[in-house]
Amino acid sequence: MKLNDWLLDKFKIKKDTRSFAQIVLSRFLWLFLLIGLFNGLIANQKPIFQLHNGSLHFPAFSDVWADWTFAKRIRPKPTYEGWTIPAPIRYAYNTIDEKHMTFTRPGESQNVASLWHRHWLGTDGLGRDVAAGLTRSLFNSTKVGLLATILAIIIGTLIGAMAGIFGDQKIKVNYLQGLCYLILTFYFIYYVFTAISSGSILYLIISLVLLFFLFLNGRLWKPLKLKQIALPFDQITSKLIEIRRSIPALVWILACLPLFKSSSSLNLVIVLAFIGWTTFARVARAETLNIINDGYIKYIEAVGVGSRRLLFKHIIPNIKDSIITIGVFALGSNILLEAGLSFLGLGLEADEISFGSMLSVAKGNLIAWWMVVFPGGILFMILFGLRLMVENEPKTNI
């Protein structure tokens, strides 16, 4: 037995069966994630640390906190006095270098104060540093892609698993109860979208009150003992999935985005989650139906285990591997959709930057090859790396 195999067997260390390309690209994905999350510390006009009059300040960290809380960055000061540690890239993503307000090629002679102020990857037509724009694009792609995927996983998995558990006969409501459910759900969705688009706390409070009445509606009509009918929850879910899949995703996006007053990353997350939840619901429903037919699930139901415990203790833990695998593909799809919408000018805010908007700038000037190679290369590495991550995962036939 080889020493390496003996050590792996002795200490129960699993061999890494991934290929060299998978290992390298997975490392790059983690590196891209860290660069995106901490882009404010990598590319910024503000220093990372500042020691002034005996007090220590962290100007760049305020931008990182603003990015993580969906807030606007505070405009930097003209000069920072005292002892400072600047960011590696001395330009923010929206900094305009007036001396290079044209497409500056990488390696071209530049009128800068020092090598630290050089635009190593060139500039765009407005004089913005391409390297700083790439760090910001990584953040926007990570934010939109991850949040939209996580939200779609939560909504789709819960709805699909519930459709498999309850079917068309287990949920019984009377006519008044069903009518109240319909009205309350409609107004709940309306006020949630209004609260998100307007940022009003009042509409958010109204949404929470309506959510409380939705839960209360299940108990309110029981004492009346009215005639009950079976709610075809599984059939409704299947029809919603069919309607969503019958129309291309881009058409849904173009129809939903005008519902918001202005473009924002949060609105884009909601739209992408709205069109993406059906994929997870479809898989979760099919996997749940397979699990329900097992003997131990019938035994669990026979001893009186509630639907909530059945859902969170027995169904979701058994389908999570399939959901995570599909979630990786959905993450790549959401990143690509965000880039495509930004390329068309329909994605993020006008003052933000992403891979799609950088490629769109290059469309008007074909000589600026660096505006295509660098954003397109990183976008390709992200999508190809996500694809290789699940190459060895078990495939689903759904």
Please tell me whether residues 206 and 141 are part of one structural domain: no
Please tell me whether residues 39 and 59 are part of one structural domain: no
Contact present, 258 and 205 (Cβ < 8 Å) = no
Please tell me whether residues 157 and 244 are part of one structural domain: yes
Percent of the chain with pLDDT over 70: 88
Please tell me whether residues 53 and 35 are part of one structural domain: no
Q: Which of 230, 250, 269 represents a domain boundary (last residue)?
A: 230
Distance CA(238)–CA(242), nearest Å, equals: 6
Give the pLDDT band (50/70/90) at residue 398.
Answer: very low
Give the pLDDT band (50/70/90) at residue 313.
Answer: confident
pLDDT average, residue stretch 99-116: 85
CATH of the domain at 388: 1.10.3720.10
Per-residue pLDDT of 287-307, as tens digits, reads: 988 888 776 777 776 777 777
Classify residue 112: in a domain, yes or no. no
Q: Which of 213, 230, 247 represents a domain boundary (last residue)?
A: 230
Classify residue 95: in a domain, yes or no. no
Give the pTM. Answer: 0.84
Classify residue 16: in a domain, yes or no. no
Per-residue pLDDT of 1-52, as tens digits, reads: 455 555 445 555 455 566 777 778 788 888 999 999 999 999 999 999 888 8
Please tell me whether residues 224 and 263 are part of one structural domain: no
Classify residue 363: in a domain, yes or no. yes
Please report the pLDDT score of residue 250 as a whole number.
84
Per-residue pLDDT of 141-167, as tens digits, reads: 989 999 999 999 999 999 999 888 888
SS3 of 53-77: the string is CCEEECHHHHHHHHHHCCCCCCCCC
Please tell me whether residues 210 and 303 are part of one structural domain: no
- The domain in which residue 51 lies consists of 46-70+78-86
Please tell me whether residues 147 and 180 are part of one structural domain: no
Please tell me whether residues 309 and 199 are part of one structural domain: no
Burial 2-40 (b: 16+ CB within 10 A, else e): eeeeeeeeeeeeeeeeeeeebeebeeebeebbebbbbbb
Classify residue 10: in a domain, yes or no. no
Please tell me whether residues 158 and 185 are part of one structural domain: no
Please tell me whether residues 220 and 344 are part of one structural domain: no
Classify residue 107: in a domain, yes or no. no
Could you give the number of structural domains in the chain? 3
Please tell me whether residues 208 and 275 are part of one structural domain: no
pLDDT, the chain, mean = 83
Ramachandran angles phi, psi of 176, nearest 5°: -65, -40
Classify residue 101: in a domain, yes or no. no
Q: What is the DSSP string of 107-152?
A: TS----SSGGG--TT-B-TTS-BHHHHHHHHHHHHHHHHHHHHHHH
Q: Could you give the 3-state DSSP secondary structure of residue 44?
A: coil
Classify residue 106: in a domain, yes or no. no
In the numeric block, the tokens 């399939």 are attached to 322
Please tell me whether residues 394 and 276 are part of one structural domain: yes
